[in-house]
Amino acid sequence: MKLAALSEDKVRADLRGNGIRLRIGPFAVSIKADDEAFASTLHFLYQDFPLLSSNEPSEFRIRVDYPNGLRRWWRRQVRFYLDDVQPFEPFPSRLALPFFEWGLNWCIYEYAHDFLIIHAAVVERNGRALLMPAVPGSGKSTLCAALVIQGWRLLSDEFALIRAADGRVWPIPRPIGLKEKSIEIIRKLPGAVDIGPTFMDTRKGNVAHLRPPGDSVNRANEPATAARIIFPRFQRGAQNQIEPLSKASGFAKASDDSFNYELLGAAGFDFLSAVIDNSECFDLTFSDLQAALDLIETVVADS
Amino acid sequence: MSARAAPDDAVLLQLLRSPAAARELSPRDWEDVFWQARSTRLGGRLRRHLRDENLPPVVQRRLLAAFTEAEYQRRQMLWEIDRLRRVIAAVAPDFILLKGGAYAAIGLEIALGRPAGDLDVMVPFEKIAAIERAVLANGWEHVIIDEYDQRYYRSWMHELPPLCHRDRETELDLHHAIAPRTSRLRLDMGPIFKAALPIEPGGPRTLAPIDMVLHCVVHLFHDGEIAGSLRDLVDFDGLLRHFGGNEFWSNLVPRALALGLGRPLFYGLRYAKRLLATPIPEAVTRACEAARPSPPTLALMDFAVPRALVPAASPWASAGARISAFGLYVRSHWLRMSMLPLLAHLARKSVRRWKPRPSEA
C-alpha cells in the first residue's frame, strides 16, 4: 500500500500518533511529526512511497517536533531527532520538511555503512546507470531533475549506494532538492513537473522539491548497472564542454566524493572498482542546462 | 515489550545474554535494539554475538553497518599503535597498551566489531615526561590548552592531558597508572608494571590478564561516567569468558584484594552476572564477598547502575535514568578525588561556566 492511499488527515493523525512508516529506497523509516504543513507536504512528495508492513522493523525512527516552552510559540522552532539523538540545532518551524530531508541524509551517511555511499545523482535509461558525483553547488540536482523529466529513471539525486562488487547501484529515489534559480529553470521545462512548496531562506537559500516520478519509486528495489560516470561542474559563463577522463582519475575523483570509501576498507575498493570497470568517465563543465543535456546525450548514446 | 520495562530487561541485554532471544523479538523490539545498539555503540559486537542466528535482512544490514564502522576503527587503532611505536621506541619500546589497543594488538575476539576510540598507553611515571616530549616533537599536540585544566590533569589524574595527532586527528592518552593519583583506591602500580607481558619480544606490552580485567572494572566504576558504559561491562564479560581458566579464577580475587581493587571487582562481577549472565564460578563470587559494600550503598548501586548502563526509553531517557547517571557522575568524582580538591574543582567549573570564554568576550 502507498502513502497516497491514506488521506491527508489520516497522515497528519498518524504522524502525531504512532508514526508513518515508509520504505524509502532500501531503508525502512518511521516518521513522527507534529506540524500541519509538514504533513501535507510529506503526503504530496512521498505519495508513491510504499508503507512498511507491520511486521517490518524500521531502522531509522525520526521525529520532527517542537521544543516545549517559549519556543513553541515565539519564533517557533523545530527539532530533528533520530531516537534520542539530536544531530542539529533546531530550525525555524516553517522549514520542517527540508529539515527532515537533510536529517534523513544525515542518518544515511552517518549510519548506512552497509553500502559504499557516493555523493552523486544517479539516473538510468535502458538498463544503464549514469552517475554524477559532485560536491554541493555543482549542479548535479538540476541536471538530475532535467534528465528525470526527459524520462530517465531516478535512482537518487544525492546518493549512489553500492553494496557488492557487481557494478550495481541501489536506488533511493526521493524528492529532488532544487535550490535558488534551479527551481524556476526546472519549473519551465516542458513536461509534467510536480514541485512542492518553496521554502525561503534556508541555510542553502530557497529550496523546493521535485516529486519523484511514480515509476521510479515503484522500481526502487531494482538496482541498475553503472555505465557512465560524469563529474559535473556548473560554472557561470564557462564554455560548455565534456571531456573523457581516465579510469584512474575517475576512480580517484569518485572516491573523493564518497562518504565512507575509507571506512569500508578493501570492500570499498572492490565495490568502486567494479563500478569504474563498467563505466566510461567524463568531466563536464557547463553554464547552460540545455547545452549540458546535449553534451551528456553525446556520451550516453547507446552504442 | 514496553519501553519502560526494567533496565535489565532491555532487549539489547536480552540478546547479549542469549543470542537465541533473537528468535522471539517483535519488529518493535528490533527497533529498540537498533537504537540501543547505536547509543551504546555495541552494534558491531552484537553482530558477533548473533552470528549463528537467522536474522531478518534489515537486522543483518544494520549490524553489518555497525560492524564495518567498528572494524575501520580497529584498523586505525592498529595503525596508531604502529606509528607510536616508531616515535617512542628510543624512550620506552616496552610501553603498555591499555583497553581497546591491547585487545586489538593481541587479537582478542572482543576486539572484533568493537568501536575503538582513543589510544590509551601506560608507562612508568618517571618516563612520562620524555615520552611527552617525543610525541610532541612528532605531530601530536595538546588538545587542552587551558592552564587550569592542564594542571588538573597533571596534579590529580593518572594520565597526561589528552594529546591529538594533528594530521590523523586521533587521540592519545598517556597514563602512568590505572587509577587517578588522588583516588581512594591508593593503588601501588609496581606489581602491575612488573606483571605486564610483552606481545612480542622487545616490543609493546599488555597488562597481565588479571590486571587487564581489573583495569576494565576500575575504568568502569572509578573513572568518569558510568552512563553509557555498557561497552565496558561487555568488555569485562568478554575478557572473563576468554581468560577464565582455573588458574585465572583462583588468582583473580586474591590479586584484586592485594591491590585494593576488591570493590570495583565486586561490582563488575555482580553486574556482569546480573545483566550479561557472565559465567562466574561460585567460589569466585563468594571470595569477593570480602569486598562487599554496605547494604545502603549496594542498594543504591543496584538501582542506579543498570539504569545508567542501558538507555532506558526512547526518545527521551526516563527521568530515573537521567537521575542515576548524574548521581553516578558525582560519585565517580567523589571516588577519584578527595573532598577538598573535589569542592575546589566543582566550584571552579561552576564559576567558569558563567564566565564568557575569551572567544566570546
Q: How far is A207 from chain B (nearest CA, A)?
A: 29
> In this structure, how many other beta carbons lie within 10 angstroms of the beta carbon of residue B134?
18
Give residue A35's pLDDT.
Answer: 84
Give the closest of B31, B64, B72 to A58, CB-based: B31
- Chain B interface includes A262 (CB < 8 A): yes
Whole-angstrom distance, CA of residue B198 vs CA of residue B140: 25
Per the DSSP assignment, residues forming a β-bridge with A241 are: A285
Average pLDDT rounded to a whole number, residues B285-290: 96
Whole-angstrom distance, CA of residue B173 vs CA of residue B135: 11
Average pLDDT rounded to a whole number, residues B291-318: 79
CA nearest to B321, candidates B330, B308, B309:
B308
Do the Cβ atoms of B298 and B289 come closer than 8 Å? no
**Range 22-81 of A in CB contact (< 8 A) with B:** 26, 28, 30, 54-59, 61, 63, 81
Give residue B358's pLDDT.
Answer: 41
Give residue B1's pLDDT.
Answer: 38
Bond from prior residue into B315 cis (ω within 30 degrees of 0): yes
Give residue A240's pLDDT.
Answer: 97
What is the DSSP annotation of B122-170? E--GGGHHHHHHHHHTTTEEES---HHHHHHHHHH-SBPSPEEETTT--
- Chain B interface includes A87 (CB < 8 A): no
CB–CB contact A83 B35 (8 Å) = yes
Residue appearing with cell numbers 592485594: B258
CB–CB contact B66 A84 (8 Å) = no
Chain B: residue nearest A109 by CA? B65
Torsion of CA B14, B17, B20, B23, to 10 degrees: 10
Q: What percent of chain B has pLDDT over 70?
A: 81
CB–CB contact A113 B27 (8 Å) = no
Biggest alpha carbon distance in chain A? 63
- pLDDT tens for residues A4-60? 999 999 999 999 988 999 999 999 999 999 888 999 999 999 999 999 999 999 999
CB–CB contact A28 B58 (8 Å) = yes
- Chain B interface includes A110 (CB < 8 A): no
Between B145 and B358, the more confident residue is B145
Whole-angstrom distance, CA of residue A103 vs CA of residue A206: 18
Do the Cβ atoms of A110 and B43 come closer than 8 Å? no
Average pLDDT rounded to a whole number, residues A185-202: 89
CA nearest to B147, candidates B159, B161, B135:
B161
Give the closest of A57, A262, A265 to B27, CB-based: A57
Average pLDDT rounded to a whole number, residues B45-65: 97
Give the closest of A59, A83, A264 to B58, CB-based: A59
Give the closest of A26, A57, A81 to B30, CB-based: A57
CA nearest to A273, candidates A232, A226, A230, A231:
A226
CA nearest to B82, candidates B209, B168, B192:
B168
| pTM of this prediction exceeds 0.95 | no
CA nearest to B93, candidates B118, B130, B139, B136:
B130
Question: Residue A3 burial by CB count (10 A; 0-12/13-18/19+): exposed, middle or buried?
Answer: buried
CA nearest to B278, candidates B324, B332, B217, B225:
B217
- pLDDT tens for residues B311-340? 766 653 344 555 555 566 556 655 555 555
What type of residue is A140?
K
Helices (H), chain A: 8-16, 36-45, 96-111, 140-149, 181-187, 214-218, 247-256, 261-264, 266-278, 289-300
Give residue B359's pLDDT.
Answer: 41
- Chain B interface includes A140 (CB < 8 A): no
Per the DSSP assignment, residues forming a β-bridge with A117 are: A161
pLDDT band at A76 (very low <50, low <70, confident <90, very high): confident
Whole-angstrom distance, CA of residue A44 vs CA of residue A6: 11
Give residue A70's pLDDT.
Answer: 61
Q: How far is A66 from chain B (nearest CA, A)?
A: 14
Residues of B in contact with A58 (CB under 8 A): 27, 31
- pLDDT tens for residues A237-274? 999 999 999 999 999 999 999 999 999 999 999 999 99
Average pLDDT rounded to a whole number, residues B47-67: 97
Whole-angstrom distance, CA of residue B205 vs CA of residue B122: 10
For an interface test with B, give the residue of A23, A29, A32, A59 to mutate (most B CBs within 10 A). A59
> In this structure, how many other beta carbons lie within 10 angstroms of the beta carbon of residue B211?
23
Give residue A71's pLDDT.
Answer: 58
CA nearest to A104, candidates A174, A153, A171, A44:
A174
Between A171 and B341, the more confident residue is A171
Residue A186 in grid coordinates? 526546472
Helices (H), A150-257: 181-187, 214-218, 247-256
Q: A291: which residues sit within 8 A by CB, 6+ positions away?
A: A240
* pLDDT, averaged across chain A: 94
Chain A: residue nearest B41 by CA? A111
pLDDT at residue B344 tops 70: no
Backbone angles phi, psi at A24, to 5 degrees: -120, 100
Chain A: residue nearest B311 by CA? A84
Half-sphere exposure of B288 (CA within 13 A, CB side): 24
- pLDDT tens for residues A198-228? 999 888 889 999 999 999 999 999 999 999 9
CB–CB contact A111 B71 (8 Å) = no
CB–CB contact A57 B28 (8 Å) = yes
Whole-angstrom distance, CA of residue B268 vs CA of residue B221: 8
For an interface test with B, give the residue of A63, A114, A269 to mutate (most B CBs within 10 A). A114
CATH class for the domain made up of A116-300: alpha beta
Residue A214 in grid coordinates? 511514480
pLDDT at residue B9 tops 90: no
Backbone angles phi, psi at A28, to 5 degrees: -100, 120
For chain A, the domains span: 3-111, 116-300
Chain A: residue nearest B33 by CA? A59
Give the closest of A61, A114, A265 to B35, CB-based: A61
Q: How far is B269 from chain A (nearest CA, A)?
A: 30
Sorted by where each starts, the structural domains of chain B and their CATH numbers stand as 7-354 (3.30.460.40)
Average pLDDT rounded to a whole number, residues B262-279: 96
CB–CB contact B58 A56 (8 Å) = yes
Interface of B with A (CB under 8 A): 27-31, 34-35, 38-39, 56, 58-59, 61-62, 64-66, 68-69, 71-72, 75, 311, 314-317
> In this structure, how many other beta carbons lie within 10 angstroms of the beta carbon of residue A299?
16
pLDDT band at B347 (very low <50, low <70, confident <90, very high): low
Torsion B105-B110-B112-B116 (CA) sign:
negative
Give the closest of B27, B30, B315 to A83, CB-based: B315
Give the closest of B28, B56, B315 to A63, CB-based: B315
CA nearest to A294, candidates A183, A151, A124, A143:
A143
Backbone angles phi, psi at A175, to 5 degrees: -55, 135
Do the Cβ atoms of B34 and B309 come closer than 8 Å? no
pLDDT at residue B356 tops 70: no
Residues of B in contact with A83 (CB under 8 A): 35, 38-39, 314-315
* pLDDT, averaged across chain B: 86
- pLDDT tens for residues A111-149? 999 999 999 999 999 999 999 999 988 999 999 999 999
Give residue B354's pLDDT.
Answer: 47
